[in-house]
Amino acid sequence: MTMTTLHDRRRFIVKQQTSARGQSVIVWDTFTDANGTLLSAHTPDRSPAGWQTVSGNLTINGNRCTGATGLSVIHIGRADFALSASVRGVSGSASLIARYGDSLNYWKLIAKFSVNAIELWEQTASIWTLRGSASVSINDGADHTLRATFNGQAIRFWVDAVVPLAYSSTSHQSNVRVGVSSDAAANAIDHFKVSSL
Amino acid sequence: MNKLAAILTPYSGDGKSQSSGFRPTLSDFYPLHAWRDVTAAPTANLPPDVNALVIEAILDETTLAEIQADPAFIVLWEEDL
């Protein structure tokens, strides 16, 4: 076995990336607003733009994004970033959306409470492909931090302290919108954060 | 003991929705702690005649032994974690 081969294998397990010097927060949203406020009518704590509704009607309740289903995005003007949110639920799923181009082209990092797993999905020209998955115990109704980094072709994703999974792709590299989605009204999303790399 | 292995598997799914998305058949039949697609075939190249892919998976050694005995899949290499 060559060292290169060994190195390639070891790339599967990568160290969790901590905040780097010079990293700046682009979007920060604690979803603090009146109950029943649609995400599209809500102003994030910090963001270059407001939320755009793609589908459904994501809503704020109890200072969290909860009580409805849907998918919403924010234009951040860059395709490389670190993305995180705390998610909680016991069924269905809650997701981070990355490099969103249109409703048929984007990345979706899913916390699948129904099966205790996180999954990285690519949708390109309406074709869905699962690129990676990890089993994690998340359907306990408690907050779990879902994270991803998109840096050129390098994609990493993980939840809590689970070792990140790494994937490489050129798909949607020029798309500059990120977001959240939920397919169960009882699920909750909070502390949505996008940082530069 | 957990193992890291590269495994050749056919695809399942037709890609037409997330619930029927393209995915490794192996993950439908065996419990994997984690896996990633290392073939990374462009999505546009998958339909209509989707073929096979290699995944790197973390799994327990009992599951790996079952997969090695299953002619539907090919374990390319394995190592201890």
| Contact predicate B81/B6, CB 8 Å | no
| Contact predicate A113/A92, CB 8 Å | yes
Residues A140-160 have a mean pLDDT of 96
B79 contacts in A (CB within 8 Å)? 9
Q: How does pLDDT run across A20-44, given as a tens digit for each residue?
A: 556 799 999 999 999 999 999 999 9
Residue B6 to residue B44: CA distance in whole angstroms: 24
Q: How confident is the model at residue A164 (pLDDT cuts 50, 70, 90)?
A: confident
| Contact predicate A98/A176, CB 8 Å | no
The shortest C-alpha distance from B51 to chain A (Å) reads 13
**Does A171 sit within 8 Å of B43, measured CB to CB?**
yes
Q: Which domains does chain A have, with CATH numbers?
A: 24-195 (2.60.120.560)
For residue B44, the model assigns a pLDDT of 86
The shortest C-alpha distance from B33 to chain A (Å) reads 5
Q: Which residue of A has its CA nearest to B55?
A: A132
For residue A161, the model assigns a pLDDT of 87
Q: Which residues of chain B register pLDDT less than 50?
A: none
Q: Is the pLDDT of residue A3 over 60?
A: no
Q: Is the pLDDT of residue A18 over 80?
A: no
A34 touching chain B per CB within 8 A = no
Domain boundaries, chain B: 2-80
Which runs of E-coded beta strand occur in chain B?
2-12, 23-24, 34-37, 52-60, 74-80
DSSP, collapsed to helix, strand or coil, labels residue B51 as coil
